[in-house]
Amino acid sequence: MSAHAYVAVVLYEATSDSATYEPLYREDFVLVYAESEDAAREAVARRVGGETGSHRNEQGDLITLRCKRVVDVARALDDDLTRDADLYARHFRDFAAYRRFESLMAD
């Protein structure tokens, strides 16, 4: 069996012990190579583990990054990633909700 490209959507949350800190969320699109979806999920879990943890910022506040959820793991849409390729797609019906969420959509 040969490895295939999989794309994972991972949602992280950064929190702090500071009373004035507002949680910050980060959505990552991660590329892993695996022989199956289960193996891809395991590879993503290992990567997530390497991303999570705590550190002190410049003000001395403890900042903690944790994975809120692995939203999706799916095989890449194209197999040949040595050229321009489609990686991942998801579908939705509520464009207004997407527009409210996606800050890059601001007019």
pTM of the complete model = 0.87
> pLDDT tens digits, the chain, 107 residues: what are they?
789 999 999 999 999 999 999 999 999 999 999 999 999 999 999 999 999 999 999 999 999 999 999 999 999 999 999 999 999 999 999 999 988 888 887 76
Q: Which DSSP helix (H) or strand (E) runs through 96?
A: helix 95-101
Calpha distance 32→88 (Å, rounded): 13
Instruction: Quote the pLDDT of residue 101.
Output: 84
CA-CA distances (angstroms) from residue 43 to 34, 35, 63?
8, 11, 25
* Domains of the chain, residue spans: 4-77+85-105
Burial (CB < 10 A; 0-12, 13-18, 19+), residue 44, is buried
